[in-house]
Amino acid sequence: MSVSSDIPPNSLLRPRDQRTISAVLAAALALMAAYWWRHGGHRGGLIDVDRAEPLAAKFQVDVNRAEWPELVQLPGVGQTLAQRIVAERRQDGAFRDWDDLRRVSGLGPRTLQRIKPYLLPIPQDGELARR
């Protein structure tokens, strides 16, 4: 196998190829710097997280099946209240309607109104037999 005579020893590229690669890399860095400058990087405005639209997740919970970690996700329901809901359900049976949730200590009418959009409908007794 013969080695080209214009490649210096201990080098993978010819000097002309090294200059070409250096020029391409310099041009790429210049373009990246121009892009950064044009989009406000020098002002610190390149990534403006404060202007991002907030995301909202829509979910619903079955209060007769959910465990307390799921119930904690409801607005106004902390760990203690969520654990009370589960304990009440285990002690006195399933909730028959949303107003039946009022038997849980600490769950008042305002909290109930706040969490209603996140609760799955509670089936009536006749609907349970059809499932």
Tell me the pLDDT tens digit for each residue of 15-36. Answer: 888 899 999 999 999 999 998 8
Q: pTM of the full predicted structure?
A: 0.54
Compute the Cα dihedral for 80, 82, 83, 87 and give only its sign: positive
C-alpha 28/C-alpha 102 separation (Å) is 66
- What are the residue boundaries of the structural domains of the chain, listed by start? 15-50, 68-130
The CA R_g of the chain, rounded to the nearest whole Å, is 33
The pLDDT tens digits for 46-85 are: 555 666 677 777 889 999 999 999 999 998 899 999 999 9
Q: Is CATH 3.30.950.10 what the domain over 68-130 is classified as, yes or no? A: no
C-alpha 67/C-alpha 76 separation (Å) is 16
Q: Locate 78 and state its tokens.
A: 């902390």
The pLDDT tens digits for 86-114 are: 999 999 999 998 888 889 999 999 999 99
